[in-house]
Amino acid sequence: MKKIIVLLTSVVLVSSIYGCNENRPKTNLASESVVVEESIPVEVVEPIEYKEADIKHSFISGQEAVEVLAADDDYTSKLSIYDYNSKFQSEVILDATGRTEILNNHVLEWNDSQKESVDEAMRRINDLFLEFDIDMPDINFILTSDVDEGGAAYTRGTSIILKPHSVYQHSMDLEHLIVHEMFHVYSRAHKELRSEMYAVIGYNECEELVWPSEISDLKISNPDAPDNNFYITGTYENVEYDFMPIIFSSEPYEVGSGTSFFRTLQDKFLAVKIIAGKPEPIYLSDELLIVSKNNIVEFYEKVGLNTDYTYHPEETMADNFVFMIYKMDVKSPFVVEGLNSVINSKN
């Protein structure tokens, strides 16, 4: 889920290299005869050919789009009762059929102007990608109402879901938003790289967190990062702990209120003890140890200062992916450089 505003443009320069032979025929002026000196073979260097970035995209709507959003996957399998209350306005957990009924009202039809905005953004994004060798899947774009996922852009599979307020015209904000979401599509298609990408900002992999009962019914699930299986080590009140990023609501949701879950969203870190790869929540004085990132001493030293979007390492790296593509000056270049290195290692 993302709303991002950064400004930068990038120009792709394509150059060619040619070989040249200094041992050409020479003229003997005294005899006016031509003397051909022995030539040394010179390797001909072919012009550099850059891979064409051609990330194909299409627009889907209607039943096809609803099926994508209602499908059973790693996101819907982790939805909490709070998710169903706030995102589907349902008092109960729904199956794919139940979700389909709700989502029929969320999916919108694309108009020509909206398509043109996205088309222009994708033309420019393809130009920027010429400088990189990124194995990006083809993308479907879906348009939904602001009621869907609190009005945020997000992804499912290889689909990017946008909102009308984002696509009313082409803008740099729209480009950056799409590139951020493209990272989630890339990450989902190359899950084998996640541990290396997240390690750039100090995260380690573990088994999936079993949410403690005290907050399990308040859990807010992120469609771009539905898994809770990475932790970061840091110091809190002079004691070193392992921490897992979690997002949850500060209070239950009232179905029918029409309010967004963002209003009560809490972006926190749960202290855990990793036992044989499994995270076990830590309690102090019979209460879960949940802290703010600002109270973890080494946090920003590890994740960098490029973005404050730290709900999950996936979101932090998605922002840095934008900075990488647009060659932005950032406060912590080691993150962008590390991400670029991991992506290049796949090739």
Chain segment 190-222, per-residue pLDDT in tens: 999 999 999 999 999 999 999 999 999 999 999
Residue 121, pLDDT > 60, answer: yes
More confident position, 28 or 248 = 248
* 8-state DSSP, 92: S
Ramachandran class of 276: left when φ > 0, alpha when ψ lies in -120 to 50, beta otherwise: left
- Which pLDDT belongs to residue 169? 87
How far apart are the C-alpha atoms of 299 and 245, rounded to whole Å? 12
Amino acid letter for position 226: P
Phi, psi dihedrals of residue 115, rounded to the nearest 5°: -60, -40
Tokens of 50: 């850059």
- Which pLDDT belongs to residue 345? 84
How far apart are the C-alpha atoms of 188 and 85, rounded to whole Å? 27
Where are any strands of DSSP class E within 76-199? 139-143, 154-156, 159-162
Residue 172, pLDDT > 80, answer: yes
Ramachandran class of 257: left when φ > 0, alpha when ψ lies in -120 to 50, beta otherwise: alpha
Residue 338, pLDDT > 60, answer: yes
Where are any strands of DSSP class E within the chain? 26-28, 33-35, 57-59, 139-143, 154-156, 159-162, 203-205, 230-236, 239-249, 265-275, 278-281, 283-284, 287-288, 290-291
For the chain, how many residues are written? Answer: 347
* 8-state DSSP, 91: S
Assess contact for 161 and 148: CB atoms under 8 A: yes
Structure confidence at residue 38 as a pLDDT band (50, 70, 90): very low
How far apart are the C-alpha atoms of 310 and 144, rounded to whole Å? 25
Structure confidence at residue 170 as a pLDDT band (50, 70, 90): confident
Percentage above 70 pLDDT, the chain: 84
Average pLDDT over residues 158-183: 96
- Which pLDDT belongs to residue 30? 36
Structure confidence at residue 42 as a pLDDT band (50, 70, 90): very low
Q: What is the pLDDT of residues 58-94, one digit of tens each?
A: 999 999 999 999 999 999 999 999 999 999 999 999 9
Closest CA to 103 of 80, 79, 77, 71: 71
Average pLDDT over residues 154-178: 96
Residue 41, pLDDT > 80, answer: no
49, β-bridge pairs: none
Closest CA to 1 of 260, 325, 315: 315
- Which pLDDT belongs to residue 133? 87
- Which pLDDT belongs to residue 346? 75
Structure confidence at residue 39 as a pLDDT band (50, 70, 90): very low
Assess contact for 97 and 88: CB atoms under 8 A: no
Structure confidence at residue 5 as a pLDDT band (50, 70, 90): very low
Residue 293, pLDDT > 80, answer: yes
Average pLDDT over residues 294-298: 97
Tokens of 152: 């945020």
Average pLDDT over residues 27-50: 39
Residue 325, pLDDT > 50, answer: yes
- Which pLDDT belongs to residue 53? 59
Structure confidence at residue 54 as a pLDDT band (50, 70, 90): confident
Burial 153-189 (b: 16+ CB within 10 A, else e): bbbbbbbbbbbeebbeebeebbbbbbbbbbbbbbbbe
Global confidence as pTM: 0.84
Q: What is the pLDDT of residues 258-290, one digit of tens each?
A: 899 999 999 999 999 999 999 999 999 999 999
How far apart are the C-alpha atoms of 158 and 57, rounded to whole Å? 10
